[in-house]
A and B are shown apart, each in its own frame.
Chain A
Amino acid sequence: MMTHKLNLLLASLVLLLLTTTAASAQKVEVIKFADLKELRNQPHDTLYVVNFWATWCRPCIKELPYFEAANQKYKGQPVKVVLVSMDAVEDLDSRVKTFVQKRGLQSELLLLDEVDGNSWIDKLEPKWSGAIPATMVFNNKRGHYEFREAEMTEEELTTIIEKYK
């Protein structure tokens, strides 16, 4: 009798844990370049901060907390942080989702499923050599645009956002 109750309690605890982590971890949407281009060309009056990263990229992981902090800081303002993973789509469950969950990432998460960088990098940003991390900041309605192919400090990121928001 006691064990049964304990089991029930444990089961409900596990269930609670599972549902809360599922609720707090963001979904990762798999996109193609056409979707990314659409996001880049959206005519909204919002400052998009789009960061390209991967779970295998050390400098990317180092700067991720700054993007997460910006996502929190500008909540309720027309600033949108989007993290675009360059991981292989095959690694979505095993690596990306695990990473996202472990870090509790809250920004919008996309995974760009394209194997041939040469087919799209120049169409998005000719100045981009293909190295990550890279970050695009834009407000299309106001015609604001900035691109960085470098690991950023928190200060650098804040300066760019404050300049355009």
Chain B
Amino acid sequence: MKKMNLPYVYAACLVLVSLLLSAVPASEHGYKVGDTARDFRLKNVDGKMVSLADYKDAKGFIVTFTCNSCPYSVAYEDRLIELHNKFASKGYPLIAINPNDAQVSPRDSYDKMQVRAKEKNFPFPYLHDETQEITRAYGATRTPHLYIVQKQQDGSLKVAYIGTVDDNYKDASQAQKKYAEEALNELVAGKQISQPNTKAIGCTIKWKEA
């Protein structure tokens, strides 16, 4: 190279900066409905590594950030099992991810996760996001926090629903609006999801201390 071609250097810098900038919101604020979700490889309570790519026949997933220590998460455990049992056969298995740092929240350690999964006989994987990279990428802020993703023709995963299970954390039998179930029914029927975003009070994610 005889001479630096300045316009090209500028252009390259611009591309680099815009790439960096576009990368920031995804990791800072997480996914929104319509975004493409990333796959992951996390350790299950049975010691095996689990990726969404392992599920060749799945049409999508109910990726749920949940944990042992949050009373809201515990209150929803049976309902998560029910959702899985109802929708796994329809192509949408549930994948539970514990986002909490075990140092900050000892009740969410891998050992304690194994105990809880056994006690409740979870029919779905219960993975630990040890580095919290996936939790950040998805933008989960609380437990429980559900992301329903749908596999596209090209194999990518489109976020179809972000939110909560239903409108009554205290009593499943009193729930009037089953937000997640309705969204899944609509998804399975090939319809537009009428309420793709819902909110609920939940426990804060226990982030690693710097």
| Residue ranges of A at the interface with B (Cβ–Cβ < 8 Å) | 52, 56-59, 86, 88, 90, 115-119, 121-122, 128-133, 149-151
Contacts and interface: CB of A to CB of B under 8 A. Distances in A.
Given A129-B199, A149-B141, A115 B204 contact: no
Nearest to A86: B201
Contacts of A132: 201-204
Given A56-B71, A57-B203, A118-B179, 13 more contacts: A56-B203, A90-B170, A115-B170, A116-B167, A116-B168, A117-B164, A117-B200, A121-B201, A130-B142, A130-B199, A131-B205, A132-B204, A149-B141
24 contacts: A56-B71, A56-B203, A115-B169, A115-B171, A115-B174, A116-B177, A117-B164, A117-B199, A117-B201, A118-B163, A118-B167, A118-B177, A118-B199, A118-B200, A121-B200, A129-B199, A130-B142, A130-B164, A131-B201, A131-B205, A132-B201, A133-B204, A149-B141, A150-B204
B204 A57 contact: yes
A129 B198 contact: no
A151 B168 contact: no
B168 A131 contact: no
Contact of A119 (B105, B167, B169): B167
5 closest cross-chain pairs (CB), A and B:
A116-B167, A131-B142, A117-B200, A129-B141, A118-B198
Q: Point out which of B164, B168, B201, B206 has the most chain A C-beta atoms below 10 A from its C-beta.
A: B201
Contacts of A119: 167
Given A59-B204, A131-B205, A118 B142 contact: no
Contact of A88 (B167, B170, B205): B170
Contacts, number: 65
Interface in B174-205: 174, 177, 179, 198-205
Contacts of B167: 115-116, 118-119
For the side of the interface on B, what is the size category?
A: 20 to 34
B93 to A, nearest CB: 24
Contacts of A116: 167-168, 177, 200
A116 to B, nearest CB: 4
B204 A122 contact: no
Nearest to A121: B199
B89 to A, nearest CB: 27
Interface string B155-169: 000000001100111
Nearest to A59: B204
B195 to A, nearest CB: 8
Contacts of B141: 129-131, 149
A129 B169 contact: no
A130 B200 contact: yes
A7 to B, nearest CB: 43
A121 B141 CA distance: 15
Contacts of B199: 117-118, 121-122, 128-130
Interface string B105-121: 10000000000000000
A118 B171 CA distance: 16
A128 B204 CA distance: 12
Contacts of A121: 199-201
Nearest to B198: A118
A52 B204 CA distance: 12
Q: Point out which of B168, B203, B205 has the most chain A C-beta atoms below 10 A from its C-beta.
A: B203
Contact of B202 (A88, A90, A115, A130): A130
Contacts of A57: 203-204
